[in-house]
């Protein structure tokens, strides 16, 4: 059995006051100062914490909102002076796609590195747009063992980036062509560059260090390259935008992966990179605009060995009036590649809109080999996604002041929590290798299909 992939983590508490969902409104007038005050009985001790918080308050931009919402004090107060309220800051977190729930769970995972567990049943909507319109399958009685979750077996989450030829060429018993280089990642995750509006100078070194700690690879724009140690280069992939000159040959030879922006001269640029470093795997970055899907499929017909398709931050087709969602675009690309008999010749990396650990598994089921993420790592640093990032701005997470260790710790924790969750869903599916999950839509159930097969059949006229 190969050595297990394990990420070292430790709890990294938040720097800023927690932004919880609930706050307690304390109407102190008429308090009878009874000896059995419900505030003392709070099993989470939140009232005492709030008092301490206010006593030591130095910054008045954040109130105490860390109540668990159990209503116990509200319902037991002798004078009925307490009530609960929703935290308006919590409600305004993120946007329609990056919901407050997503942001809060990301914060918790970045803090604890644990899989979020809760009691009671599922509290959300029945289904929803995008990735919420699919469920992953599980195996019941009659499928092979699935003991990986508790460690008795190994569930592999490692993936390869690069070309996997359908067969090998031999001449006189010797390999006629060299086996293409492969980059092996222990998890189907590529750390992508931050979008322009969130690109803060302190983040890149942290992302690179996180990549090293988690044995992943971070994409770094070669134009704004931070100072890099030689030992870090193995976990860095240079991104070469159009018109950017070839990287320093010495540095390039230390890397395993390079990403090149799609353009008319992409084939020549790949050749140029390979001239310097023949063992490098070159990825072509394709924006999922209206012709992005077709472009990705077309690129695969050539000599391109890996394609990174990127939707917008919400996972939508870029610039389209009625955009397709990334899950549907991945499925289309995957199917087209199969029809063209090119699927194993090319690695498909999908980015944009990957917000939760479950999206990784779902994107892989839809046909991606791996996904790329950026915003979740930023949110892990307590970002509110409020876009008040300009220097000297009123960033509630004070991201301009973050320290490297804090950033690396929180990002590492988040990736570890995602890995744990990936193991959970794969374990439930009875899958022991994520490579085998790619495109296996039989391991998922889609909302539209189930609705049609169940209710459509029952309730459509004439049935």
Question: Footprint of other proteins on this chain (CB under 8 A)?
Answer: 22, 43-44, 68-72, 74-78, 80, 83-86, 105, 115-127, 135-142, 144-147, 149-150, 356-358, 362, 421, 424-425, 427-430, 442, 445, 447, 450-451, 453-456, 458-461
Query: Which residue number, 251 or 428, has a Cβ lying nearer to other proteins?
Result: 428
DSSP tag of 358: H
Helix axes 404-429, 203-214, angle to 10 degrees: 40
Q: Give burial (CB, 10 Å; 0-12/13-18/19+) of 2.
A: exposed
Query: Which residue number, 130 or 247, has a Cβ lying nearer to other proteins?
Result: 130
Query: Which residue number, 1 or 120, has a Cβ lying nearer to other proteins?
Result: 120
Helix axes 326-339, 292-301, angle to 10 degrees: 30
Q: Across-strand partners of 309?
A: 286, 350
Query: Which residue number, 38 or 200, has a Cβ lying nearer to other proteins?
Result: 38
Q: Across-strand partners of 287?
A: 310
Please report how close the Cβ of residue 344 comes to other proteins at its closest, in angstroms. Answer: 26
Task: Specify the 3-state DSSP secondary structure of 354.
Answer: coil
Task: Specify the 3-state DSSP secondary structure of 83.
Answer: strand
Please report how close the Cβ of residue 376 comes to other proteins at its closest, in angstroms. Answer: 14
Query: Which residue number, 66 or 345, has a Cβ lying nearer to other proteins?
Result: 66
Please report how close the Cβ of residue 90 comes to other proteins at its closest, in angstroms. Answer: 11
Query: Which residue number, 232 or 360, has a Cβ lying nearer to other proteins?
Result: 360
Please report how close the Cβ of residue 352 comes to other proteins at its closest, in angstroms. Answer: 20
**Cα–Cα distance list, 51 to 18, 46, 55, 374 (Å):** 15, 9, 6, 37
d(CA 442, CA 189): 22
Query: Which residue number, 84 or 244, has a Cβ lying nearer to other proteins?
Result: 84
Torsion-angle region of residue 163: left (phi > 0), alpha (psi -120 to 50) or beta?
Answer: beta
Please report how close the Cβ of residue 154 comes to other proteins at its closest, in angstroms. Answer: 16
**Tokens of residue 340, six digits:** 């063209």
Query: Which residue number, 138 or 175, has a Cβ lying nearer to other proteins?
Result: 138
Contact by Cβ (8 Å): 443, 166? no
Please report how close the Cβ of residue 152 comes to other proteins at its closest, in angstroms. Answer: 8
Buried b (16+ CB within 10 A) or exposed e, 61-83: eeebbbbeeeeebbeebeeebbe
Please report how close the Cβ of residue 212 comes to other proteins at its closest, in angstroms. Answer: 27
Contact by Cβ (8 Å): 188, 434? yes
Query: Which residue number, 228 or 441, has a Cβ lying nearer to other proteins?
Result: 441
- Among residues 262, 258, 244, the alpha carbon closest in space to that of 181 is found at 258
The residues, any chain, with a CB within 8 Å of residue 371's CB and separated by 6 or more, are 188, 189, 190, 349, 350, 351, 354, 359, 360, 363, 364
């Amino acid at each position: 059995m190969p050595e297990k992939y394990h990420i070292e983590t430790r709890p990294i508490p938040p720097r800023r006051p927690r932004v919880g969902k609930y706050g307690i409104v304390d109407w102190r007038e008429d308090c009878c100062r009874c000896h059995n005050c419900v505030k003392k009985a709070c099993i989470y001790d939140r009232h005492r914490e709030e008092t301490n918080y206010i006593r030591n308050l130095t910054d008045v931009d954040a109130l105490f909102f860390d109540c668990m919402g159990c209503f116990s004090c509200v319902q037991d107060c002798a004078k009925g002076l307490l009530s609960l309220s929703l935290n308006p800051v919590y409600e305004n977190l993120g946007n329609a796609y990056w919901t407050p729930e997503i942001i809060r769970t990301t914060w918790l995972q970045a803090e604890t590195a644990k899989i979020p567990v809760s009691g009671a049943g599922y509290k959300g909507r029945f289904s929803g747009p995008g990735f919420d319109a699919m469920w992953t399958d599980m195996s019941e009685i009659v499928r092979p063992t699935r003991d990986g979750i508790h460690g008795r077996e190994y569930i592999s989450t490692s993936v390869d980036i690069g070309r996997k030829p359908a067969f090998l060429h031999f001449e006189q018993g010797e390999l006629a062509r060299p086996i293409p280089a492969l980059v092996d990642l222990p998890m189907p995750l590529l750390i992508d560059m931050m979008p322009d509006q969130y690109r803060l100078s302190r983040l890149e070194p942290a992302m690179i260090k996180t990549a090293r700690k988690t044995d992943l690879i971070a994409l770094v724009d070669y134009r704004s390259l931070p100072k890099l140690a030689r030992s870090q280069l193995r976990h860095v992939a240079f991104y070469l935008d159009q018109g950017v000159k070839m990287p320093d040959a010495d540095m390039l030879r230390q890397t395993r992966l390079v990403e090149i922006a799609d353009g008319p001269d992409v084939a020549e640029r790949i050749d140029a990179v390979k001239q310097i470093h023949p063992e490098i795997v070159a990825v072509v970055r394709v924006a999922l605009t209206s012709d992005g899907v077709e472009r990705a499929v077309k690129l695969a017909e050539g000599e391109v060995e890996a394609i990174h398709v990127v939707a917008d931050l919400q996972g939508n087709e870029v610039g389209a009036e009625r955009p397709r969602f990334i899950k549907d675009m991945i499925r289309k690309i995957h199917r087209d590649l199969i029809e063209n008999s090119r699927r194993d010749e090319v690695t498909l990396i999908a980015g944009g809109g990957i917000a939760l650990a479950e999206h990784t598994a779902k994107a892989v089921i839809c046909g991606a080999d791996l996904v790329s993420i950026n915003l979740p790592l930023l949110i892990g640093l307590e970002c509110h996604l409020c876009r008040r990032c300009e220097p000297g701005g009123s960033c509630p997470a004070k991201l301009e002041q973050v320290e490297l260790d804090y950033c690396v710790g929180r990002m590492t924790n988040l990736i570890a929590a995602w890995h744990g969750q990936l193991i959970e869903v794969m374990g439930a599916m009875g899958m022991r290798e994520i490579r085998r999950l790619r495109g296996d839509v039989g391991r998922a159930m889609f909302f539209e299909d189930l609705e049609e097969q169940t209710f459509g059949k029952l309730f459509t006229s004439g049935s």
